[in-house]
Amino acid sequence: MTLYLRKPLEMEYRALDKLRISYLSMYNDDQKELFNKKITWEEAISICSDVGAGFSDAMILNALQCTNLPFSISLDSDLAFSVVANSNLKDVLIPDALVDNLL
């Protein structure tokens, strides 16, 4: 299985790199100015218990809350539904086609 996954994952990484898309990290010196507070597990737990999001999704939403960014763009409808459940969270934009498939 490792052999099968390696090539597609490397291709995905190269495509993201070519588009200059990278993961946010408060530990990356080039991105520190994007964050206005420290990301904590406690806040992720609060989001998880408040909206019923999965823990990984709650941590992603928590990380967004800790940035100066006004919103996120995602293909993960669970993130968008979590934001609908709590209007205090920053917006998550998802494609119309994804919403249409869910309704």
Three-state DSSP string of 23-76: CCCCCCCCCHHHECCCCCHHHHHHHHHHHCCCHHHHHHHHHHHCECCCEEECCC
If we measure between CA atoms, which residue out of 92, 88, 94 comes closest to residue 43? 88
pLDDT of residue 22: 80
* pLDDT > 60? residue 1: no
- The reported pTM is 0.79
For residue 75, the cross-strand partners are: none
> Per-residue pLDDT averaged across 11-26, rounded?
89
- Residue 18's domain comprises 2-102
In this structure, what token pair is assigned to residue 82?
A: 């979590």
Contact 8, 2 (CB under 8 A): no
103: pLDDT confidence band, cut at 50, 70 and 90? Answer: low
Number of domains forming the structure of the chain: 1
Task: Give dist(CA 27, CA 4) in Å, integer.
Answer: 32
What pLDDT, in 10s, does the model give residues 35-94?
999 999 999 999 999 999 999 999 999 999 999 999 999 988 899 889 989 989 999 998
Task: Give dist(CA 82, CA 85) in Å, integer.
Answer: 5
97: pLDDT confidence band, cut at 50, 70 and 90? Answer: confident
pLDDT of residue 2: 56
